[in-house]
Amino acid sequence: MSDHDHEYEVTVGAGSLRSSSPTTTALPHRWTPEGVTVETQFTGAHLWHLAVAGCVLNDVYRESSAFGVDLDGVRVRAWGSFDTATWSSTGIHYAVEVDSPSSSDDVARLVDAVDRVAEIPRAVRAGAPVQRSDAVSGDR
């Protein structure tokens, strides 16, 4: 697969980098008054990548004040593929775009820090067992 064949690609945007496409979904967001736009399809593979993209976008907003970075907008695109014989991920890639009046060095430091602390990418990198339960209605 080449870098241009982004099977299972998702994009999330907030602030000045929200999508204006009529096919996006808008969701509330604790750090932006107008919410976040989500461009994806509703498949398990897309949702796997959406978890990474959404977490990274949230953490850019969450960590920005600690780095003294003012944000006008954030867009995160995540993509990857799967080995269709096993449905194992072949890896997730993501790219962050930040619209900010802060210096490019400050923005780069923020994005580097987010890559280290973002919970969902960290959990995916570490792996986790997933088990079905017979519990219903919240019973365990």
Q: Would the pLDDT of 17 be above 80?
A: yes
What is the domain partition of the chain in residue ranges?
A: 10-126
**Which range has the top average pLDDT, 23-27, 98-102, 124-128?**
98-102
Give pLDDT tens digits for 113-133. Answer: 999 999 999 999 998 888 888
Question: What number is the average pLDDT over the span 96-107?
Answer: 98
pTM, full prediction: 0.88
The predicted model gives 69-80 an average pLDDT of 97
Q: Quick one: fold of 10-126?
A: GMP Synthetase; Chain A, domain 3 (3.30.300)
Q: How many CA atoms lie within 13 A of 123 on its CB side?
A: 12
**Spatial CB neighbours of 102, under 8 Å, sequence gap ≥ 6:** 68, 69, 70
- CA 40 from chain center: how many Å? 11
Measure Cα distances from 84 to 10, 56, 70, 118, 132 in Å.
19, 26, 42, 28, 21
